[in-house]
């Protein structure tokens, strides 16, 4: 049930067009008159002649409302003067000052407690209230208000990367109630955002549970089939275990044929191509239209339906079925493209490679120590052994998984919608409280 909050009894014109009216006893001040603003230039290097410190970086601020000791900070070094200038202390507010996306400008985080040797890192602004009439927690909540955040985004300059200048930040207008009222508003927002955040966390846990259920459902169906009473046999493959007795155990190459890459450029009269890239498949499960001129290296030419299995980061399961389009259809060579030899259903094959056992096996074969660039070899993808049911049973399993995963995906989508609504409610509540649209002084 949505809560109702009362308004203040009297209002006045703030003198700021986008802000409108504020409570009659409130004031509006520029940020530079109530706080110091320092832009950090501390890099992420480790030097022998400097002092070891922990560094609060852009991602720490972007992902956390509060900067606390429990976070895993980067270990770096800094000069004594940098430590004196940028060492974080309770009451500090840290702001993202530049980004590749203007919507990520001026994301704030608050330091509520003493930190153990943590400094403010590069790409961040350190804001420290300098007036005794400012509650630091209230100031932090003010930065979270939509109207102030949008002002910073508009003020950010740049084309491919956006930056917020110190003058624009200092000239920002902050709405200031009396100090005791600031504390009451901050305390109210701490309670209410914590309540909303707990609901969001619970819903995200439910999503994780549903995703694990989805993974388990796929793994069971493609290794045990749909008949729980079917006789089982040892597959002879350690990671695969037992499978239905009438299934065949064979490497993928027995049922699938790889499609090789094509030399680029190819002769074509079209100006566009349909490209399956790793990012497009990860984002939408599909490919994307690209200009032919953008393609400057060899690709896989898709002329028949096939399953694309990424060689990169097999645990992420970047897999899709690619079908030829009316225009030139291509796939990145970071995929292995597998077409049917006639005795397998491609949708069943897609689920095979999405199964937990397949992903774990492929993950164990990667040949890079760098977690973000792990890569498995194409011949491993082709030689991996699976249990293969007869073709009609493959189709039945694929149809079952289509239905059941669609049901789970629909549940996940509904929960994600409710999370988005809670996040909107959270943002609206903060904005209303720090601009005086609602009176929260008596909220317990």
pLDDT one-digit tens code per residue, 147-200: 777 777 777 777 667 788 888 889 888 999 999 999 999 999 999 999 999 999
- 261-262 and 256-259 strand pairing: unpaired
In a domain? residue 16? no
In sequence order, which residues have a C-beta less than 8 Å from that of residue 292 and are 6 or more positions away? 265, 268, 270, 271, 272, 273, 328
Domain end point (choices 347, 370, 388): 388
Mean pLDDT of 311-329: 88
In a domain? residue 251? yes
Whether 384 and 396 share a structural domain: no
Whether 250 and 377 share a structural domain: yes
Residue 400 pLDDT exceeds 90: yes
pLDDT tens-place string over residues 24-75:
999 999 999 999 999 998 888 899 889 999 999 999 999 999 999 999 999 9
In sequence order, which residues have a C-beta less than 8 Å from that of residue 38 and are 6 or more positions away? 85, 86, 120, 125, 126, 127, 128
In sequence order, which residues have a C-beta less than 8 Å from that of residue 121 and are 6 or more positions away? 40, 42, 44, 55, 56, 57, 58, 74, 76
Give the domain range for residue 45.
27-176
pLDDT band at 367 (very low <50, low <70, confident <90, very high): low
Torsion angles phi and psi, residue 213, rounded to 5: -65, -40
In a domain? residue 17? no
Please check whether residue 114 is in contact with residue 70, taking contact to mean a CB–CB distance below 8 angstroms. Answer: no
In a domain? residue 99? yes
Whether 3 and 112 share a structural domain: no
What's the CA gap between 279 and 189, in Å, rounded? Answer: 38
Whether 4 and 131 share a structural domain: no
In a domain? residue 299? yes
- 272-276 and 328-331 strand pairing: parallel
Whether 341 and 240 share a structural domain: yes
Helix (H) or strand (E) holding 271: none
Domain count, the chain: 3
Whether 244 and 371 share a structural domain: yes
pLDDT band at 1 (very low <50, low <70, confident <90, very high): very low
Beta bridge partners of residue 75, listed in sequence order: 54
Please check whether residue 207 is in contact with residue 371, taking contact to mean a CB–CB distance below 8 angstroms. Answer: no
pLDDT of 73 reads: 95
Whether 220 and 333 share a structural domain: no
Whether 144 and 277 share a structural domain: no
Task: Report the predicted TM-score, pTM, of the whole model to 2 decimal places.
Answer: 0.83
Beta bridge partners of residue 12, listed in sequence order: 22
Burial class of residue 33 in the structure, from the number of CB atoms within 10 Å of its CB (0-12 exposed, 13-18 middle, 19+ buried): exposed
pLDDT band at 117 (very low <50, low <70, confident <90, very high): very high
pLDDT of 293 reads: 80
Whether 200 and 308 share a structural domain: no
Whether 157 and 68 share a structural domain: yes
């Amino acid at each position: 049930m949505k809560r109702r909050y009362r308004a203040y009894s009297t209002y006045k014109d703030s003198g700021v067009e986008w802000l409108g009216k504020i409570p009659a006893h409130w004031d509006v001040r520029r940020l530079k008159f109530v706080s110091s603003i320092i832009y950090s230039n501390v890099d992420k290097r480790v030097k022998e002649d400097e002092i070891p410190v922990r560094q609060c970086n852009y991602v720490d601020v972007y992902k956390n409302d509060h900067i606390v000791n429990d976070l895993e900070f980067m270990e770096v070094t800094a000069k004594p003067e940098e430590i004196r200038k940028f060492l974080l202390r309770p009451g500090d507010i840290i702001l993202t000052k530049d980004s590749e996306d203007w919507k990520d400008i001026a994301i704030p985080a608050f330091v509520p407690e003493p930190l153990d040797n943590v400094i403010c890192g590069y790409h961040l602004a350190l804001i420290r209230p300098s007036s005794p009439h400012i509650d630091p927690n209230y100031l932090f909540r003010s930065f979270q208000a939509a109207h102030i955040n949008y002002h910073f985004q508009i003020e950010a300059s740049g084309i491919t990367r956006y930056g917020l200048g110190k003058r624009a930040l200092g000239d920002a207008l902050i709405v200031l109630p009396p100090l005791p009222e600031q504390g009451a508003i901050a305390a109210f927002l701490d309670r209410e955002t914590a309540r909303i955040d707990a609901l969001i966390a619970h819903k995200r846990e439910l999503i994780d549970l549903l995703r694990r259920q989805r993974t388990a459902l796929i793994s069971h169906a493609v290794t045990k089939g749909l008949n729980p009473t079917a006789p089982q046999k040892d597959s002879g493959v350690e990671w695969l275990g037992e499978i239905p007795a009438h299934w065949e155990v064979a490497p993928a190459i027995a049922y699938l044929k790889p499609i090789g890459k094509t030399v680029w450029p190819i002769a074509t009269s079209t100006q566009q191509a349909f490209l399956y890239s790793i990012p497009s498949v990860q984002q939408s499960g599909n490919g994307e239209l690209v200009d032919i001129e953008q393609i400057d290296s060899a690709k896989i030419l898709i002329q028949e339906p096939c399953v694309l299995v990424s060689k990169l980061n097999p645990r992420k399961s970047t897999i899709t079925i690619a079908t030829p389009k009316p225009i030139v259809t291509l796939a990145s060579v970071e995929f292995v493209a597998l077409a049917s030899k006639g005795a397998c259903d491609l949708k069943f094959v897609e689920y095979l490679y999405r199964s937990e056992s397949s992903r774990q096996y492929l993950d164990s074969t990667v040949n890079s120590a760098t977690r973000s660039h792990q890569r498995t070899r194409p011949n491993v993808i082709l030689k991996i052994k699976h249990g293969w049911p007869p073709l009609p049973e493959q189709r039945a399993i694929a149809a079952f998984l289509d239905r059941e995963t669609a049901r789970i995906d629909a549940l996940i989508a509904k929960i994600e919608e409710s999370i988005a609504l809670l996040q909107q409610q959270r943002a609206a509540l903060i904005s209303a409280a720090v601009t005086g649209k609602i009176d929260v002084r008596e909220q317990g």
